[in-house]
Amino acid sequence: MPTKHRSSSRSRSSSSSRKSSSRRSSSSSGKKKSSSRRKYSPSAGSDVKREMHEFKRGKLKSGRSGKTVKSRKQAIAIGLSEARRKGKKVPQKKAA
């Protein structure tokens, strides 16, 4: 009886390895390949660069409140939103 149990466990392990390999191939084919086109226009990058320049010198102010921006991420977001307003090529803002 123990020999029978061993053989069944071997068949299970080989079938599970087959399943995992099929999962790997399907997941890699399911991924979307990145395109070679640029996502941001060079002029949008220069807008962000200008905002970062102001941020580093402590001159960058936020919208209506006029408070000084303290976060690097916020400075980048301001640069991108200004580029969007000017109609430059920038991906859409992610929905919250």
Show me where the domains of the chain are located: 42-85
pTM beyond 0.75 = no
Spacing of C-alpha 28 from chain mean position: 18
**pLDDT value of position 26:** 52
Structure tokens at 66: 């006029």
> Mean pLDDT, to the nearest integer, of 27-56?
85
**pLDDT value of position 11:** 53
pLDDT in tens, 43-76: 999 999 999 999 999 999 998 999 999 999 999 9
Mean pLDDT, the chain, rounded, equals: 80
